[in-house]
Amino acid sequence: MTTRPKVAVHKFSSCDGCQLAFLNAGEALLALPELLDIVHFAEAGMLDPDAPVDIAFVEGSVYTPEDVDRIRRIRASSRYLISIGACATSGGIQALRNLGDTRDWVGAIYARPEYIQTLDQSRAIAEEVKVDLELWGCPVTTAQVVAAIRALLYGVAPVKNRDKVCMDCKRNQTVCTLVAKGEPCLGPVTGTGCGAICPAFGRDCYGCFGPAENPNTGALAQCFQGLGLLPVDIARRFLFISNDAPAFAAEGKKWREEA
């Protein structure tokens, strides 16, 4: 009898939204137990955080010294480690604190800052351990998660689709918010995966799926300037949900310095 692969879902500093991609899978989630054993998933009630597994999904960023120790243990006990969501892949919205001095804001917020155990920065999982696959998004989609699981179970390398959101807009015949409406949209530099939901509803993309392959952030920033955005507003566009992703961070910080 063949032993079914074991899977764990771990949470670090995050909002739990990406874990809901599992719980919202519906019939696909019900079918997964036929293919594998989920041995740890606190949000679904299974608790065994130190169990050796074939696939470990990790949501959230590394935020505390305890997080560093825990992610290293998870890496050591996992065959494949997959980081899911903006927090795990680029530090998340909480990485905005990386733009300031941690000691200053901790001292300003907490009456006894000496009791606060935190790192100087919110870090992506790949900054601490080897990551086998990154699934971007805020949150990731159920389709991404299920596709990654099935590919690994059948010995196939998961497809890494980093096309730009603009490609989905064209496929969906969605009117371009940047060209037609003159709104500062991050679609030309953001990876697809969401199905271009925001442009479909008439609003601009704000980059929650992180940088696309070969993003020309400099040219897009110049376009934003031509639309009348001030340097501080251009910086805010890039320094948001995926603000610590290298391509967005470099462009955002450049315009922040000019503000």
Q: What is the CATH number of domain 6-153?
A: 3.40.50.700
Q: Is the peptide bond before 158 cis (omega within 30 degrees of 0)?
A: no
pLDDT number for residue 55: 94
Q: What whole-number distance in Å separates Cα of residue 217 and Cα of residue 258?
A: 16
Q: The tokens of 207 are what?
A: 């980059």
pLDDT number for residue 2: 55
pLDDT number for residue 21: 82
pLDDT number for residue 1: 40
> What pTM was estimated for this model as a whole?
0.91
pLDDT tens, position by position, for the chain (259 residues)? 457 899 999 999 999 999 988 788 777 666 777 778 999 999 888 999 999 999 999 999 999 999 999 999 999 999 999 999 999 999 999 999 999 898 898 999 999 999 999 999 999 999 999 999 999 999 998 888 888 988 988 888 888 888 999 999 999 999 999 999 999 999 999 999 899 999 999 999 999 999 999 999 999 999 999 999 999 999 999 999 999 999 999 999 999 998 7
SS3 81: strand
pLDDT tens-digit profile of 2-15? Answer: 578 999 999 999 99
User: How is 5-72 classified by DSSP, letter by letter?
Assistant: PEEEEEE-BS-STTTHHHHTTTHHHHHGGGT-EEEEEGGGTB--TT--EEEEEEESBB-SHHHHHHHH
Numbered ranges of CATH 3.40.50.700 in the chain: 6-153
pLDDT number for residue 159: 82
